[in-house]
Every structure is written in structure tokens, then in C-alpha cells.
Chain A
Amino acid sequence: DVVMTQSPLSLTVTLGQPASISCRSSQSLLFSDGDTYLHWFQQRPGQSPRRLINKVSYRESGVPDRFSGSGSGPDFTLHISRVEAEDVGVYYCMHSVNWPWTFGQGTKVEIE
């Protein structure tokens, strides 16, 4: 199984400052179709997860442009250019290159 390792597991950020979360995969996430199946999710307190970034860097519709994704295997990064209060929650990376699809442990983002 592909193991997804996130760091840090907890992050305290000042409003308006940048933040980044790293994710490392234990195997290549490059599929035979040429796409890399690495995704980022946000889970606000008490809510369902929401996909922010699809296939490394494609931002979902409605996601603020302060969120961006980058990287190539095995290291990937979620960037938040200027953290806002509504960004509090847990962020997960996830792969779907083969089964079982697995998530990272999650990174809890709090505001200072």
C-alpha cells in the first residue's frame, strides 16, 4: 500500500501569513495516463471534507486562489498564500493511483 506522510501534523499560523503543508508518498503517484493522482482536502470543524486541489495543482471550482498545490513525486506541497480565519481545520493529502487509496495523517491548522 502507498503510505502518505504529512508534515507538520500541527501548524499555528498568524492571520495574513503564508503556510505550507508537505506530503510525501512512498511510491510513485504517476498513472499510466500521464496524470499524477495526488489530491488535497480541507475538513473544517464539524464538516465533511472538501477537495481543494485535484491531481497535484488543479484548484477546484470555488476554492480561493490563495490555495495552490505543487510538487512531483514523491514530495508534494499545499500552499496557503495568506491564511484567513476560515482556513482553520485539518488538511489531508490523498492518493488514488492504485487501491487502496490512502490519506495522510492530517495536518491541523490553527490561528495564532
Chain B
Amino acid sequence: ELQLVESGGGLVQPGGSLRLSCVASEITFSNYWTGWVRQAPGKGLEWVAIILEDGSVKHYLDSVKGRFTISRDSAKNSLYLQMNSLRGDDTAVYYCARDRGSVWGQGTMVTVSS
């Protein structure tokens, strides 16, 4: 059974950067969408960015365009989210999710605060 494990969260000051990673437990050969979903404390779910697993297409939520970059490394079974110019409203648990949400990681907390 495929599992996803995120890492890289933490406390960062406004304007700072973080890089989230998500490692899959097994290699898959289907070209699914995969991406990042965030959940602010006590709030609902929000897709932030998605990428086709061949890396050919990427989409971003308007509020993160120009600040966040999604990427993947198929050799490492890994997905990344580079987050720059972080703001307080980026504070959330960030989940890695595959195939329109069929598989989720456990989440990693990102806190943006001075």
C-alpha cells in the first residue's frame, strides 16, 4: 500500500522560506496528479499546488503564485514544495496528496510568525 511521508515544516519568520518534502514508499508508473493541500488551524482544506507526475503540467492557487514552487524527483520518489516570501496566512498543516486525494501523508506543520 502506497504511503506518503512529509517533512520540512517548522517555525519561520514572515518573509522567510521553507522547503517541504514528500517521499512515496513505492514507485508508481501511472501519470497521476499529485500535490499539496493545506489546512489552517481549525479551518478547512485548500489545494495549494498540483503537478502531473511526469512534471509536464503545474497549477498553483492564486494566493501562492510567484511565491511557491512545486517540483518532483522521480528518481527519489519525492515531491517538493519550495515556499518563499512566507506570510502569516500561510500558517497551516501541509499535506502531500496523490491522485486527487486517494492517498494522503500525515502532514507537516508550517508556522509563520515573528
**Chain B, Cβ-Cβ closest to A41:** B101
CB within 8 Å of A: which of B55-108? 59, 61-62, 95, 97, 100-102, 104-107
Cβ 8 A contact of A106, one of B37, B44, B61, B104:
B44
The count of A-to-B residue pairs whose CB atoms sit within 8 angstroms is 51
Q: How large is the interface on B (under 10, 10 to 19, 20 to 34, 35 or more residues)?
A: 10 to 19
| Contact indicator B44/A103 (Cβ below 8 Å) | yes
Q: Separation in Å of the A37 CB from the closest CB of chain B?
A: 7
| Contact indicator A92/B104 (Cβ below 8 Å) | no
| Contact indicator A54/B102 (Cβ below 8 Å) | yes
For residue A41, which residues in chain B have a CB less than 8 angstroms away from its CB? 45, 101
Complex CA gap A51/B95 in Å reads 14
Q: How large is the interface on A (under 10, 10 to 19, 20 to 34, 35 or more residues)?
A: 20 to 34
| Contact indicator A101/B47 (Cβ below 8 Å) | yes
Cβ 8 A contact of A48, one of B46, B50, B102, B104:
B104
| Contact indicator B100/A48 (Cβ below 8 Å) | no
Task: Identify 18 residue pairs between A and B in the complex whose beta-carbon atoms are under 8 Å apart, listed by A's number.
Answer: A39-B101, A41-B101, A43-B45, A48-B104, A48-B105, A48-B107, A49-B45, A49-B97, A49-B104, A50-B104, A51-B101, A94-B100, A99-B59, A101-B50, A102-B46, A102-B47, A104-B44, A106-B44
